[in-house]
A and B are shown apart, each in its own frame.
Chain A
């Protein structure tokens, strides 16, 4: 399916990570280690043995092997300036592997994605279970260059590879009671150290659960992603399969999914349960509804460039995807249903 996206916020020419940046990755990791020596002043409390500054010197964040994928390229969004690949794969909110953004890249490298099982069940006629190979072969893959807006007011532009969730849902044939779709991340504390350690795991409940209304799940923009930048997903980005809902805050886009369930009643989701006044069920990107503790009116787009990168931009309603999704919320008061 070809999806035409004409973002009013269209940016300039394409900016694929150039090789020199990519080749610097070792140096980058090393320099983080150098910082480790001076972290005396800046580090928080003494780190546990497996976390933080001090071992980053020896951590190769590209230890996990990704493989190239075959897919239809996204030619509609070439105007978006992509976030360099190195940044996409080293700046992650994936508390299962540590609540600090550099930790997932360091702690997820030995994550096992094969074998994998993804079960789709609940209110449907043909429940199925997909194996690892099915994830990339069951549907033709396409590239989708999407903006990703984190609830923490930073954003990226990422070339995802995947297929519309709608195609998968059509396969299981939801019945008329299917009103919501619930997603669940793998629960495996042996592999995901944050699930067993309140400090490392940021004190949220595991397994991580997210959900969409059925019409949101069926929207053509809603993507099941199995790759980024032309290759299978690295574990820190949610390998082997994750959700991408580009008009919602990033925490809705749940990673490393093992279960999808069609249900009839509105489920509780991880962040919403933890702090209902801060994180709503819908979590649509909305510059007019602030997080209680910070403004959502603008965001910092993470691209290349150091401290002096002038990258603060206005946040758009529905993250700029209003044309495709605003109709689903016409009758709703978005300041109440945040």
Chain B
């Protein structure tokens, strides 16, 4: 059966699976949360679920190209944008949950927390970067941006590092999960060693010029 599937069919099916998993999870989450069936404190649950969900999706997104290369599955690259957009969607819900359900639109408290708490500051910077990547993912914009598009989207590596720090910094004492995520992030970045080295060097060269 699978041999007969054309590449575009495979991409289509993969996208359906991604939509189902990512979107239905959110739908289910909010259905339970709105009906007060998500434990005693649904606010905390939705914040954690969307936060860790965004991180999971980011890691999956970053895993696509190493996997595609290793197993010669080039078509996988075609679902990267969808995964990236879901990463942004989850991150957006994460921030929205914090603002709308936890702080309950106490805007001054929100801005205070963003400025005063380093882990939230880092989280917000990460979110803004993610938003920039999401907005520029449209084909039309991508074409217009030319070379600078890739430059901008290289920030996904920085995003991954910032998110691990945000997670690590946010917990009270249980450091195993954040450390595990940090390790995963580093592994995924290690696959890009050459590229990252060039990126870092280019910053250095530009500065000294």
Decide if the interface of chain B is mainly helix, strand, loop or mixed.
helix
Q: A41-B56, A199-B177 are in contact. Are A307 and B43 (CB under 8 A)?
A: yes
Please report the total number of B residues contacting A with Cβ < 8 Å.
51
- State whether B21 touches A38 (Cβ < 8 A): yes
- State whether A41 touches B21 (Cβ < 8 A): yes
- Min CB gap B50→A, angstroms: 7
Q: A101-B44, A199-B174 are in contact. Are A41 and B22 (CB under 8 A)?
A: yes
Using Cβ atoms and an 8 Å threshold, which residues of chain A touch B116? 290, 295
- Min CB gap A86→B, angstroms: 7
Contact string, A190-213, partner B, CB cutoff 8 A, digits 1/0? 000000001100111000000000
Q: A32-B39, A91-B40, A306-B33 are in contact. Are A41 and B117 (CB under 8 A)?
A: no
Q: B-side interface residues toward A, CB under 8 Å?
A: 21-22, 24-25, 28-30, 32-44, 46, 48-50, 52-53, 56-57, 90, 101-104, 106, 109, 112-113, 116-119, 169-170, 172-177, 180-181
> From A84, which residue of chain B is reached at the shortest CB distance?
B40
Contact string, A82-105, partner B, CB cutoff 8 A, digits 1/0? 010011101100010001011000
Using Cβ atoms and an 8 Å threshold, which residues of chain B touch A115? none
Using Cβ atoms and an 8 Å threshold, which residues of chain B touch A304? 36
Bound form: Cα–Cα A185–B62 in Å:
44
- Min CB gap B23→A, angstroms: 10
| Extra A-B contacts (11), CB below 8 Å, given A101-B39, A154-B44, A306-B42 | A27-B37, A28-B37, A31-B32, A40-B25, A42-B50, A90-B40, A101-B44, A298-B106, A307-B30, A311-B104, A312-B104
Bound form: Cα–Cα A304–B40 in Å:
8
Bound form: Cα–Cα A1–B34 in Å:
42
A residues 276-335 touching B (CB-CB < 8 Å): 290, 293-295, 297-298, 300, 302, 304-312
- State whether A202 touches B173 (Cβ < 8 A): yes
Using Cβ atoms and an 8 Å threshold, which residues of chain A touch B40? 83, 86-88, 90-91, 101, 302
**A24, A83, A274, A308: most-surrounded residue (chain B CB, <10 A):** A308
- State whether B103 touches A312 (Cβ < 8 A): yes
Please report the total number of A residues contacting B with Cβ < 8 Å.
51
Contact string, A9-37, partner B, CB cutoff 8 A, digits 1/0? 00000000000000010011001101100
Using Cβ atoms and an 8 Å threshold, which residues of chain B touch A290? 116
Bound form: Cα–Cα A106–B172 in Å:
21
| 16 A–B pairs (Cβ distance < 8 Å), ordered by A | A41-B25, A42-B29, A42-B52, A42-B53, A83-B40, A99-B173, A102-B39, A152-B172, A202-B174, A302-B40, A306-B42, A307-B34, A307-B101, A308-B101, A311-B104, A312-B104
